[in-house]
């Protein structure tokens, strides 16, 4: 089964969890929740981020690089994780299980917004290389969460 077929089988909660895994698997629990909150904040926003559902939003081009930068190790890791989920072989992957748990909490509005409505984030390294004018920001781990 190819990755496009795997993506179709995933539930909304799983897609959110995989997006968190793809974007923040090396971050603290708080950092993972923060990425999940950006996903939820984008969906609730009046701005067009490419989808009216969590699944459409996460898969939209130029939203979450883990889904569309296909020649990266991150994309390959996400593809591997999607296969683990569809094969129901999660017992050995605590980080992936944690991300899926957070994804379910985000989808069901069970977790507080720890980024105060932020719609964007970047790694601190990228932010230093390509600074932006921002209204405010919060730094968690090696990500900066902000609004323009």
Considering the domain boundaries, does residue 85 fall inside one?
Answer: yes
Give the model confidence (pLDDT) of 44-59 as tens digits.
999 999 989 999 999 9
* Number of domain units in the chain: 1
Considering the domain boundaries, does residue 82 fall inside one?
Answer: yes
Considering the domain boundaries, does residue 89 fall inside one?
Answer: yes
Least confident range of 15-24, 88-97, 116-125? 88-97
Considering the domain boundaries, does residue 84 fall inside one?
Answer: yes
Residue 145's DSSP bridge partners are 121, 138
Task: Work out whether strand 120-123 and strand 136-140 pair parallel, antiparallel, or are unpaired.
Answer: unpaired
Provide DSSP, 11-39. Answer: -HHHHHHHHHHHHHTTS-HHHHHHHHHHH
On the question of pLDDT at 89 being above 90, the answer is no
Mean pLDDT, range 16-40, rounded to an integer: 97
Considering the domain boundaries, does residue 128 fall inside one?
Answer: no
Phi-psi region of 122 (alpha: psi -120 to 50; beta: other; left: phi over 0): beta
Considering the domain boundaries, does residue 73 fall inside one?
Answer: yes
Considering the domain boundaries, does residue 148 fall inside one?
Answer: no
| Beta carbons of 85 and 96 less than 8 angstroms apart | yes
What is the Cα–Cα distance from 44 to 34, expressed in whole angstroms? 15
On the question of pLDDT at 1 being above 80, the answer is no
Mean pLDDT, range 90-113, rounded to an integer: 95
Average pLDDT value over all residues in the chain: 93
Read off the pTM: 0.93
Six-digit token pair at 104?
């379910």
pLDDT value for 145: 96
Angle at 53 between CA 117 and CA 9, to 5 degrees: 130
Six-digit token pair at 100?
């899926």
Considering the domain boundaries, does residue 58 fall inside one?
Answer: yes
For residue 103, the enclosing domain spans 3-115
Angle at 51 between CA 96 and CA 8, to 5 degrees: 50
């Amino acid at each position: 089964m190819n990755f496009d077929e795997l993506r179709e089988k995933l539930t909304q909660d799983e897609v959110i969890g995989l997006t968190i895994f793809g974007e923040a698997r090396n971050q603290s629990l708080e950092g993972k929740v923060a990425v999940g909150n950006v996903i939820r904040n984008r969906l609730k926003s009046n701005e067009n981020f490419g989808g009216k559902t969590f699944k459409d939003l996460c898969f939209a081009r130029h939203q979450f690089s883990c889904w569309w930068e296909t020649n990266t190790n991150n994309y390959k890791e996400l593809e591997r994780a999607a296969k683990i989920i569809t094969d129901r072989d999660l017992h050995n992957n605590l980080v992936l299980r944690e991300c899926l748990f957070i994804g379910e909490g985000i989808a069901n509005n069970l977790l507080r917004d720890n980024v105060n409505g932020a719609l964007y984030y970047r790694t601190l390294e990228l932010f230093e290389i390509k600074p932006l004018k921002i209204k405010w920001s919060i730094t968690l781990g090696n990500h900066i969460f902000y609004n323009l």
